């Protein structure tokens, strides 16, 4: 997959793309990431790519022409007519289903704007999709672009070592992830649940599903409303709810 990012702060993205899973994917040739600075397409000696807002008000707005030229260069160099995705708090909220959809494309072009914005004429003519990473405002879209690159990059075939680990992610089946443990088995802060050391793989799968259901019910009940549970899965959730009610009963003595 190829991802091009148009940004006034290419160093930020370049750094993010050098480390961790994305960095390894890049080194192994599974992901190609390239940044483009609209300042390199400015028409004056000051490399201006933003200017004051017409009508007054604080902050700078990114200018049409450097962005248009940067985008034309990306399209010419990549030979692709992939749509342009603008990261902004006004966009559609990114979720794992959207990440999975983006991950199936072979080319993404992202635009990170400054918070004050991008000239509306560019948005109207050149942007195909607007995505937000959440209902809060960042000072620029670079962090949002880095999040898209990470979430999409790790889903590329061959990027994660264990092919199953993305399958088991929170949200990949509409549920939150189950708890995970590693050595030591016994610690002053508790023991690893016995089922996980039992070697009984069916029981482990059931326990994990039950924990996922329970966590989703406790922390994100809105997600549960969107998944269809079969009879067995509903029974597991009810078991979890029953155990939880027992554990949190006000008259329950500690150590029971």
Active site residue 130: no
Min dist. Cβ of residue 130 to ligand ADE (A): 9
Q: At what angle do helices 201-219 and 231-247 cross, to 10 degrees?
A: 70
191 is catalytic: no
- Out of 134, 158, 179, 193, the residue judged to bind ligand ADE by CB under 6 A: 134
Among the residue ranges 75-83, 87-95, 168-176, 229-237, the one whose residues contact ligand ADE (CB under 6 A)? 87-95
Is 154 part of the annotated catalytic residue set?
yes
Question: Could you give the count of Cα atoms lying within 13 Å of 195 in the half-sphere of its Cβ?
Answer: 13
Q: How far is the CB of 139 from ligand ADE (least distance, A)?
A: 7
Should residue 196 be labelled a site residue for ligand ADE when binding is judged by CB under 6 A?
no
Q: Do the Cβ atoms of 145 and 91 come closer than 8 Å?
A: no
Give the tokens for residue 102. Answer: 């983006």
- The reply on whether position 211 binds ligand ADE by CB under 6 A is no
Cα-based distances in Å from 155 to 9, 25, 103, 145, 196? 25, 10, 6, 16, 27
Tell which one of 61, 87, 108, 151 touches ligand ADE (CB under 6 A): 87
Count the site residues for ligand ADE by CB under 6 A: 12
Using CB under 6 A, pick the residue from 144, 160, 176, 236 that binds ligand ADE. Answer: 144
Q: Is residue 89 close enough to count as binding ligand ADE by CB under 6 A?
A: yes
Active site residue 89: yes
Q: Decide whether 132 or 212 has the Cβ nearer to ligand ADE.
A: 132
- Helices 142-153 and 20-27: crossing angle in degrees, nearest 10, is 60
Determine, following the binding rule CB under 6 A, whether residue 7 of this chain makes contact with ligand ADE. no
**Closest of 39, 60, 37, 59 to residue 49, by C-alpha:** 39
The catalytically annotated residue of 24, 39, 68, 116 is 116
Strands ordered across the beta sheet of 84-93:
32-36, 2-6, 107-112, 84-93, 129-132
**Separation of CA 240 from chain center:** 29
Using rule CB under 6 A, residue 6 touches ligand ADE: no
User: Scanning residues 97 to 116, which ones bind ligand ADE (CB under 6 A)?
Assistant: 115
Binding site for ligand ADE (CB under 6 A): 87-89, 115, 132-134, 136-138, 141, 144
Catalytic (active-site) positions: 89, 116, 154, 169
């Amino acid at each position: 997959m190829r991802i091009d990012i148009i940004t006034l702060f290419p160093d930020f993205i370049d750094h993010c793309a050098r480390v961790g899973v994305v960095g390894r994917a890049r080194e192994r040739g599974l992901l190609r990431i390239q940044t483009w600075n609209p300042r390199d397409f400015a028409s004056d000696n000051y490399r201006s790519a933003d200017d004051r807002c017409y009508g007054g008000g604080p902050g700078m707005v990114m200018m049409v022409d450097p962005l248009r030229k940067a985008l034309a260069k990306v399209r010419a160099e990549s030979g692709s007519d992939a749509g342009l995705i603008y990261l902004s708090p006004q966009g559609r909220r990114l979720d794992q289903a959207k990440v999975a959809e983006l991950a199936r494309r072979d080319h993404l072009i992202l635009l990170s704007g400054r918070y004050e914005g991008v000239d509306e004429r560019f948005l109207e003519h050149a942007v195909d999709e607007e995505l937000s990473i959440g209902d809060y405002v960042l000072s620029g879209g670079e962090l949002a672009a880095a999040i898209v690159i990470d979430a999409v990059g790790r889903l590329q075939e061959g990027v994660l070592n264990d092919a199953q680990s993305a399958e088991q992610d929170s949200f990949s089946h509409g549920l939150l992830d189950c708890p995970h443990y590693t050595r030591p088995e016994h610690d002053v802060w508790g023991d690893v649940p016995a089922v996980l050391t039992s070697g009984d793989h069916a029981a482990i799968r059931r326990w994990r599903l039950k924990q996922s259901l329970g966590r989703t019910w406790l922390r994100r009940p809105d997600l549960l409303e969107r998944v269809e549970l079969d009879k067995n899965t509903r029974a597991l959730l009810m078991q979890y709810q029953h155990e939880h009610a027992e554990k949190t009963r006000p008259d329950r003595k500690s150590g029971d």
